[in-house]
A = this chain, B = another copy of it.
Amino acid sequence: MELLNETHAPALRSWVRSANQSGCDFPIQNLPFGVFRRVGSEEAFRAGVAIGDQILDLQQLQDSGVVAGEAAEALAACQGDTLNSLMALGQPAWSALRLALSRALREGAAEAGQLQACLLPQADAEYKLPATIGDYTDFYTSIHHATRVGSLFRPDNPLLPNYKWVPIGYHGRSSSIGISGQQFRRPLGQTKAPDAEVPSLGPCKRLDYELELGIYIGAGNELGEPIALDAADNHVFGLCLFNDWSARDIQAWEYQPLGPFLSKSFASTVSPWVITLEALAPYRTAWQRDSADPQPLSYLESAQNRASGALDIQLEVLLQTAQMREAGEPACRLSASNFRDSYWSIAQMVSHHSINGCNLKPGDFFGSGTQSGPEQSESGSLLELSQGGKQPITLPNGETRTFLADGDSVILRGCCEKAGAPRIGFGEVVATVLPAVEL
């Protein structure tokens, strides 16, 4: 596909004036999809597109009859309270709808008057999961995270021999994925202290976040039919922010030999807006493999992937403790990293996932794995930042953390920014730890 088209033009401005402000996450070049309703109402949830500080209600837009042609078919698929039908239509339909929305939201658009009536301020909205997620797969694509965590669990053998060959992933739990604003109880679980003879049941003592990107699959594939690397991007609807909460002490005791289970399945939180892969096209960049590392096997290798497989997405983690919240203090930044440093591209994840014939379905969800950069300060988890709990982090208000405390809110943010291109923001995902159930 042609990477850039008229919807990406940096000069485009919207008649929705908040979309034109510098620093806005949702300019007219973004147009992310979500599912919302008026906050606190009993209204049905419905699909919308973020523009500036507003939401364009796609149900009202449909009723207005403004959108015609191929885009109208895509818009019709947005009716209902999930985006799965739109996701199933495939890239040409998503692109047609994006183009129609871009044109109708531009300064000077004839439809502005009619569309004005379809807007709701984001401040008045609440969200639900934008898709019914069938299967959720979590990858492990940051070699910096894998190496740093591996060195805590296996000091003499941090990076396993398969890492540089296999885009490692495992199946996750979809039922406990919630939308930004999620509050969840600290999990109970079995843990065994190194000096204990037997395990015991209790609240997790090493609760952590993981800074990840989430990836929604659009069009699927039939069972038995792998997706070729250069076709993979056409199966990806879009991206969001994703916090893959992790109970490190439960994980350490349970994970061998079959991998993480209850240490991950108590909660995972996504941001409300899905940034389409098309919107991210200006931030595609070369996917590189260090010449000292093995080059990928042929099914994970192509000129297209090398030229533009990586995405330059800036990510950051912030923490607001209960004490900060009560004192009216803002969240403080814990770290920042960039998805460009991922060892594997999204296309490689898709292609690897289906090489065995596994069928992906519209609305299926991938986690990218914790995105940590090469520097220790770019770590996407407390496990790394506190060096396995050995080095407490001191917060601006004097509190310290090795792992999360009850009442802590963790906020992930993401954006794409560079000279000569429109800023494409992800918004944020926030969630809060509640005390454990009493035993």
Q: Chain B nearest CB: distance from A159 CB in Å?
A: 10
| A176 close to chain B: CB less than 8 A | yes
| A48 close to chain B: CB less than 8 A | no
| A135 close to chain B: CB less than 8 A | yes
A168: chain B residues at CB < 8 Å are 254, 257-258, 261
Q: Chain B nearest CB: distance from A253 CB in Å?
A: 6
Say whether B265 contacts A297, CB under 8 Å.
no
A140: chain B residues at CB < 8 Å are 258
A 160-184 to B, binary, CB cutoff 8 A, 1 in contact else 0: 1010011011111111101000001
Give Cα distance in the complex from A298 to B185, angstroms.
21
A174: chain B residues at CB < 8 Å are 134-135
For chain A, the bracket of interface size reads: 35 or more
Give Cα distance in the complex from A150 to B257, angstroms.
9
8 A Cβ contacts from A243-257 to B:
247, 250, 253-257
A359: chain B residues at CB < 8 Å are 175-176
8 A Cβ contacts from A323-380 to B:
352-353, 355-361, 364
Say whether A261 contacts B169, CB under 8 Å.
yes
| A389 close to chain B: CB less than 8 A | no
A135: chain B residues at CB < 8 Å are 173-175
| A238 close to chain B: CB less than 8 A | no
| A108 close to chain B: CB less than 8 A | no
Interface centre among A162, A226, A261 (most CB of B within 10 A): A261
Say whether B258 contacts A260, CB under 8 Å.
yes
Q: Is the interface of A mostly helix, strand, loop or mixed?
A: loop
A137: chain B residues at CB < 8 Å are 261
Say whether B259 contacts A170, CB under 8 Å.
yes
8 A Cβ contacts from A116-172 to B:
134-135, 137-138, 140, 150, 153, 160, 162, 165-166, 168-172
Q: Chain B nearest CB: distance from A141 CB in Å?
A: 12
Say whether B299 contacts A356, CB under 8 Å.
no
A262: chain B residues at CB < 8 Å are 352-353, 355-356, 358
Q: Chain B nearest CB: distance from A316 CB in Å?
A: 25
| A294 close to chain B: CB less than 8 A | yes
Contact A356:B188 (CB < 8 A) given known A171-B265, A261-B171, A361-B175:
yes
Give Cα distance in the complex from A165 to B261, angstroms.
15
A92: chain B residues at CB < 8 Å are none
| A187 close to chain B: CB less than 8 A | yes
Say whether B256 contacts A162, CB under 8 Å.
yes
Say whether B297 contacts A267, CB under 8 Å.
no
Give Cα distance in the complex from A151 to B176, angstroms.
35
Say whether A356 contacts B187, CB under 8 Å.
yes
Give Cα distance in the complex from A416 to B186, angstroms.
41
Q: Which of A9-17, A26-34, A93-101, A194-202 contacts B (4 or more CB under 8 A)?
A: A194-202
Query: Closest chain B residue to A224 by CB distance?
Result: B185
**B-contacting residues of A (Cβ < 8 Å)?**
134-135, 137-138, 140, 150, 153, 160, 162, 165-166, 168-176, 178, 184-185, 187-190, 192, 198-201, 223-226, 247, 250, 253-263, 265-267, 294, 297-299, 352-353, 355-361, 364, 434, 437
Given A223-B266, A255-B258, A265-B356, 12 other A-B residues pairs in contact with their CB atoms under 8 A: A162-B192, A166-B253, A168-B254, A169-B261, A175-B223, A176-B357, A187-B357, A199-B297, A223-B267, A247-B356, A250-B356, A255-B257
A-B contact pairs, 10 of them (CB 8 A): A134-B174, A137-B261, A138-B258, A165-B198, A166-B253, A184-B224, A188-B226, A199-B297, A265-B358, A267-B357
Across the A-B interface, give the 8 residue pairs with the lowest CB-CB distance, nearest first: A259-B259, A187-B356, A171-B171, A170-B258, A265-B358, A185-B224, A262-B356, A258-B259
